Each structure stands twice: as C-alpha cells, then as structure tokens.
Structure 1
Amino acid sequence: MKIFVKHFAGCLAQLYFYVAFCTAEVYLLAAMAYDRYVAVSKPLLYELIVSPVLCTRLVAGCFLVGLLSAAAHTGAALRLSFCGPLLIDHFYCDGPPLFLVASTDTRLNEALVFVLAGFNIVATNLLILGSYACAAVAVGRMGPGAGRRKACSTCAAHLAALGIFYVSLAFNYMQPSSAHSLSSKKVASVFSTIVVPLVNPVLYSLRNQEVNNALSSFIRRTMY
C-alpha cells in the first residue's frame, strides 16, 4: 500500500508522535521490568519502594525521553527536500520510507536513527536483562512450590509483551531492503501499531482471577 501525502507538515507530525510513543513504550517496558524485579525479590517492601511518586517520575521520564527523541528526528527531517508530492510506500510516515523519497542526502538522518535508536534499545535492554537476572536469582533462592509459581506468573505477562513488541520491531527495522522485505515490513508495522496495543491489555488482565474465570466460562460455552 502507498500513501499520498499532500501536506509535509502533517507527515512530520505523524512521524513525531510515532517516534515519541514508540520510544516511550521501550522505556516503559524497562521500567516495568524493574517493577517486576521489586515485586519478586522484595514483595514486603514493594509498596514502599514502588511508591506513587516513583511511578509518576518513571512515567514522566519515559515520555520526556520519547518527546526529546522525536524532536531530534523531526528536526533532522526538516532539512530534507522532496521533488514533487510525496508518495510513500508505507502505511504511515515513518523515517526509513520517508528517507527513500527524499531528494537530498539522508546520511545524517540515518546516522541519527542509528545512534538514538541504538542507544535507546541498548540502554533499555540492559535495564530489562539486569532486572530479570536479579529476579531470576531471587526465584532460584525460593523453594519449589506456590511461591516460585506465583513469582513466575508475575513476570509472564510482561515477558510476553516484551517478546511481541521486540519481534515486531525486529521484523520492521532489521530486514534488508528488498521487495519481499518491504511487504513483510508493512505487515510488521500494522502488527506493531494495531495488534500489539490491542493484545497488551489482554495479556496483563489474564492475571486477574475474575478475567480468567470469565474467559474459562466463555470457552466452555463456545465449545459445548
């Protein structure tokens, strides 16, 4: 699918908000990994450590990083020029599809994507891996039984959300440029922008016993 962009300002606005929310989500997932670590390793001190003030600061910090990153990418995109109307071979105005139709040198933009996106991915992955490594050590010290199962179930939804999010990002941005990869990138972009936000509430609500009971009842009614 190709989109015809009449107004460059609207395309830049779409790029800005996409980068802002995508970057914020990466950092929110890292903050949630720290939350899961505290819940598993220090359950008695959880409410004291993960206080409402800390949660507010973490969320504000995640969105601040997202807004600053989006401002850098959008500012760099302002220096690009295009010959004629924009016809982008994508579902929305993302960086790489926009660079393909630019008539000026895009090496600065590509370098900025590499540096900022690389830093955000590496930094958040280190936080996630560190948090889950510490949580795994805490789980390993527990005796087999309900405590270990409860700790694992506490992390299961977040791990599933991490897997879905990063797999969709990998399909979207880590494939070589070819006709086949362009088609798969479009599918991955729809998956990451539509399917993942719809699936996340389901994943996190499955830990709720009332939701589990309602889901089990629905499946039994459907099957029988």
Structure 2
Amino acid sequence: MENHTRMSEFILVGFKSHPGSQLLLSVLFSTMYFVTVVGNVCMILIIRMDSNLHTPMYFFLENLSTLDICYSSVITPRAALAFLLGRRSISYSSCASQMFFFSLFGTTEAFFLAVMAYDRFTAVCHPLLYQVIMSRRLCVLMVMGSYLSGCINCAIQTGFTFSLSFCGRREINHFFCDVAAVIRASCSDTLVNELVMLAVCGSIIVGTALVVFVSYGYIIITIVQMPSAESRRKAVSTCSAHMTTICLFFGTVLFMYAQPGATASPHKSNTISVFYTVVIPMLNPFIYTLRNREVKGSLKKQLKRKGFF
C-alpha cells in the first residue's frame, strides 16, 4: 500500500524521438482519430437511416462502429496530445482507468467479431431459418454478453496488474497503459501476472477465433456446394468484409498477447499496438463500405437524397 500511495504518476516513454518526429506523430494520430470517428459515425448513420439495413448483420455492424469509436477514444486523443505537448506523465488512477477501458473495448471487439461470424454462418448455411434464429432478443443478448465478457476480463487484468508494487519506477515503455507494459515497470515478481495474462487473453483469443474458424469452415463448405455461381458470389460478397476485419484484428492481437514472452519485446509491441489500437478502428468502416454492395448502394441513395448527385 505504501508503494501505491507514493506512486502518483507514470511516465509514458514509448516512441522517444526528436521534437520534429513527435509533431509528426501528433498530426498522424490526430488525423487517424478524426477519420476513425467520422467514418464510424457515417456508418452508424447510414445503417440507421436506411430501413433495408435494419437486419441482424447491420445491427452488429452498427454496434461494432460504436465500439470502434470508444476503443480508439481511449488511446488516440491522449497519445496525440502527449506527442504535441511533450507531456508524457499520466496519473496512477488515469493509467488504471485507461487500462480498464482499453481491455474492456478490446475484449468486447473480439467477442463481437465471433458473434458476427456466427451471424454470417446462420445467414449462409441456414438462410430459411435466419430470421427465426437471429431474433432481436438473441442479437441483444449476444451484444450484452460480449460486453459482460469484456468487463470480466478488464476487471481481472486491471486488478492483477495494479496489485503489483512499482518501487518508484515510473517509466512505462509504451505510449499508453497497456497491461504488458505496466507489468514490465513493476519491481514485483510478475510471473503470476504474465501467466494470468497469457491464460486469460490466450483463452479469449483462441476461443473467439475458434468460433470464427468453425463458422467460416461451414460457410466455405456450403458455398462450394452451391449450384449457382451467382449464389456463391453473393455469399462470398456477404462474408468478405468481415473476413478481412477478422484477419487484421486477430492476426495482430494474437501476435501481441497469446504467446509466451509477450511482455519481453517492448519496441516490437509498441509498433504493432498502433495497428490494432489506431489503424484497424479507422479501416473498419472503409472495409465494410467498399466491400459491401448494400452499404454502397445505401450511401449513394442517401447522397442523392441530399443533392450531392
């Protein structure tokens, strides 16, 4: 408790470089955050304004866009401001809060992607029963279950991490309070924390990825057996955007957390974490817009209605 009482703040030292690079990083992060918010808000508005998109698939996509805004907002604005002003300090409580919400939204997104894979499996493999199986009640329960799972994980990660002692060491080799980076700053024996992180994060990533792979395994088998080329093309078009998002998200997160020694390579993890905390939330609305004919059609219709065409 004495160690925790004396620890009033941490210093985030990720991406140390000369002032010109710091300004460039600030502009880059600010631009990407702006694009993230605008892109995801536009996606939400498109879905809400077009009654043809009021289906389970787009219900999940709307929630994913909301989640991506929250996910990015936890990290990006503060990082951009820190690069701009050179203020790298973060209070003990703010660091804990950032870790809590980052773990919450990151875990929830993993479950969201698994839920969306099951939704696509139902649509492709059981099209006649799709509306019956994917009822509004089930969709809401799936979203609530994803957030509940995120709450459980972030409570475990934050609780275990901030039960450590730091003994006056304030430097965190990262640009935000990631679990692995804060663990490295501790002077306690962190073996238990690393095992907990590996077990919990690994089980979440492997479990959700397993749902995704099994769902898409059945989807691929069903598509191959379809007699019509047009049916196959439509099915692939329906799933391609989600598959792209899955590869980006699970590829980077699996590399970061679900491997032994995940806390041992700070410089590598700093660079990779930019991708899944900043870049992926920015890319998601473009992926779903450019690879989805229904969304593109709805966007064109809304723009025509507003007089842009």
TM-score (norm 2): 0.64
Within 5 Å, which residues of 2 pair with 1:58-73? Answer: 58-73=142-157
Q: Do structure 1's residue 185 and structure 2's residue 269 form an aligned pair?
A: yes
Q: Distance in 1 between matches of 2:297 and 2:170?
A: 48
Confirm or deny: 8 A CA contact 1:83 1:103 kept in the other structure: yes
Indicate the residue corresponding to 1:74 in structure 2.
158
Identity of aligned residues (%): 36
RMSD: 2.4
Residue of structure 2 aligned with 1:30, choices 107, 114, 122: 114
Query: Deviation at 1:45?
Result: 2.1
Q: Distance in 2 between matches of 1:184 and 1:140?
A: 40
- Number of positions where the alignment pairs a residue of Structure 1 with one of Structure 2: 214
- Report the 3-state secondary structure (helix = DSSP H, G, I; strand = E; otherwise coil) of the residue aligned with 2:171: strand
Q: Distance in 2 between matches of 1:177 and 1:130?
A: 27
- Report the 3-state secondary structure (helix = DSSP H, G, I; strand = E; otherwise coil) of the residue aligned with 1:162: helix
Structure 1, residues 74-132: CA drift from partner, whole Å, max 9, x if none? 11123211122521110100111111110111112111101111111121122111111
Confirm or deny: 8 A CA contact 2:110 2:205 kept in the other structure: yes
Structure 2 portions without partners, runs of 5+:
1-11, 15-87, 301-309
Q: Tell me which amino acid in the other structure corresponds to 1:157.
A: A
TM-score (norm 1): 0.86
- Report the 3-state secondary structure (helix = DSSP H, G, I; strand = E; otherwise coil) of the residue aligned with 1:143: coil
Q: Distance in 1 between matches of 2:186 and 2:179?
A: 11
Indicate the residue corresponding to 2:40 in structure 1.
none
Confirm or deny: 8 A CA contact 2:113 2:246 kept in the other structure: yes
Residue of structure 1 aligned with 2:243, choices 143, 159, 173: 159
Q: Tell me which amino acid in the other structure corresponds to 1:67.
A: C
Q: Distance in 1 between matches of 2:272 and 2:96?
A: 21
Indicate the residue corresponding to 2:9 in structure 1.
none
Within 5 Å, which residues of 2 pair with 1:52-201? Answer: 52-84=136-168, 86-173=170-257, 174=259, 181-201=265-285
Confirm or deny: 8 A CA contact 2:181 2:263 kept in the other structure: no
Indicate the residue corresponding to 1:204 in structure 2.
288
Indicate the residue corresponding to 2:127 in structure 1.
43
Query: Deviation at 1:178?
Result: 9.9
Query: Deviation at 1:42?
Result: 1.7
Structure 1 portions without partners, runs of 5+:
216-224
Q: Tell me which amino acid in the other structure corresponds to 1:158.
A: H
Q: Do structure 1's residue 18 and structure 2's residue 18 form an aligned pair?
A: no
Confirm or deny: 8 A CA contact 1:5 1:88 kept in the other structure: no
